[in-house]
Amino acid sequence: MADLIFFTGPMDCGKSTLALQLDHTQRVGGRAGLLCTSQDRSGAARISSRLGLVESAVEVGDEVDLWTHVVHALTGGARIDYLVCDEAQFYSPVQIDQLARIVDELSIDVYAFGILSDFRTELFPGSKRLVELADRIETMQVQPLCWCGKRATHNARTGGGRMVTEGSQVVVGDTTSETAAAGEPSPEVGYEVLCRRHHRRRMNRAVAQATLSPEPLPFGEPDHA
Ligand SMILES: Nc1ncnc2c1ncn2[C@@H]1O[C@H](COP(=O)(O)OP(=O)(O)O)[C@@H](O)[C@H]1O
Ligand SMILES: Cc1cn([C@H]2C[C@H](O)[C@@H](COP(=O)(O)O)O2)c(=O)[nH]c1=O
């Protein structure tokens, strides 16, 4: 029996990497898949992981009917055993319903990957529908950390280095934690993953660095004896 599985976690936790690993493993095992994405950071119709893996994919724009697309492909002679759907938070609820229909009526597995909530902590409509319809929800094993060391559960949007709480739900962009940690200038719009406490306090890494007093330095060298 086919399944609709939603793999979710904050930005930068390895979703696209797992999507491509899963596709590779299934193909090596003799199954045929269809890769789909929506508004990948690379700007092209592809699934791209920060680890460097890249594969071309069907771009799921608003106008795409996933049910019709898959039925046309099958009647044209293609074999499809599974779908890998990255950036699924950007799919419309109607498209998520089409994915569920593909699972139930065509017995094709659908592996969807995406973030649950936006920079204001509100659910993306596509993710909400996935939570409602999925056979299973899988939480990612790699857990990014907030600057404080706690597990990062929330996505923050930054502008000029500070957290912003207003704006369009969709603004494609990348995480800036590495550039921030290296003291490089912040881009116009970036993202940073934070624990809930620091998301609520709007305290991202740059703000914390600017406002928190430095830890007192220990006296002398540590004693390793
Ligand atoms: N140089 C690196 N070495 C090892 N792992 C890395 C490196 N750069 C990025 N990663 C891993 O890649 C993950 C991001 O992968 P990606 O699939 O792009 O995430 P997502 O799709 O969830 O945003 C990071 O959490 C980290 O574990
Ligand atoms: C929080 C949030 C994110 N986005 C965008 C930014 C990225 O392009 C993707 C997430 O990609 P990832 O593979 O999970 O890193 O979503 C957005 O448009 N709006 C938001 O609020």
Whether residue 160 sits in one domain with residue 91: no
What pLDDT does 180 receive?
Answer: 60
Examine the domain organization and report whether 111 and 153 are in the same domain. Answer: no
Judge if 162 and 115 occupy the same domain: no
Q: Quick check: is 167 in a domain?
A: yes
| Domain encompassing residue 124 | 4-139
Question: Would you say residue 222 has pLDDT above 90?
Answer: no
Counted residue by residue, the chain has a size of 225
> What average pLDDT does the segment 190-196 reach?
97
- Give the number of domains in the chain: 2
CATH of the domain at 74: 3.40.50.300
Q: Residue 222: inside a domain, yes or no?
A: no
**Portion of the chain with pLDDT greater than 70, in percent:** 89
pLDDT above 90 for 215: no
178 catalytic, yes or no? no
User: Of 55, 87, 122, 138, which one is the catalytic site residue?
Assistant: 87
> Is the beta carbon of 113 within 6 A of some atom in ligand 2?
no
Could you tell which of 17, 115, 164, 189 is best to mutate to test the pocket of ligand 2, judged by most ligand atoms within 8 Å of the CB? 115
Contact 123, 116 (CB under 8 A): yes
Query: Could you write out the DSSP letters of every residue in 111-128?
Result: EEEE-SB-TTSPBPHHHH
220 is in an annotated binding site: no
Domain assignment of residue 94, yes or no: yes
Whether 197 is in a domain gets the answer: yes
pLDDT of residue 176: 84
Strand pairing class (189-194; 154-159): antiparallel
Q: List 77's β-bridge partners, or say none.
A: none
pLDDT level of residue 224 (50, 70, 90 thresholds): very low
| Predicted pLDDT at 212 | 78
Q: Which of 26-30, 150-154, 208-212, 221-225 has the lowest mean pLDDT?
A: 221-225
Whether residues 197 and 104 fall in one domain: no
Return d(Cα 190, Cα 162) in angstroms, integer: 9
How does pLDDT run across 27-45, given as a tens digit for each residue? 999 999 999 999 999 999 9
How confident is the model at residue 218, as a pLDDT?
Answer: 52
91 and 201 share one domain = no
Give residue-wise pLDDT tens across range 69-91: 999 999 999 999 999 999 999 99
pLDDT tens, residue by residue, 112-158:
999 999 999 999 999 999 999 999 999 999 999 999 999 999 999 99
Domain membership of residue 39 (yes or no) is yes
- For 18, the token pair is 């797992």
Q: Is 170 annotated as a binding residue?
A: yes
193 is in an annotated binding site: no
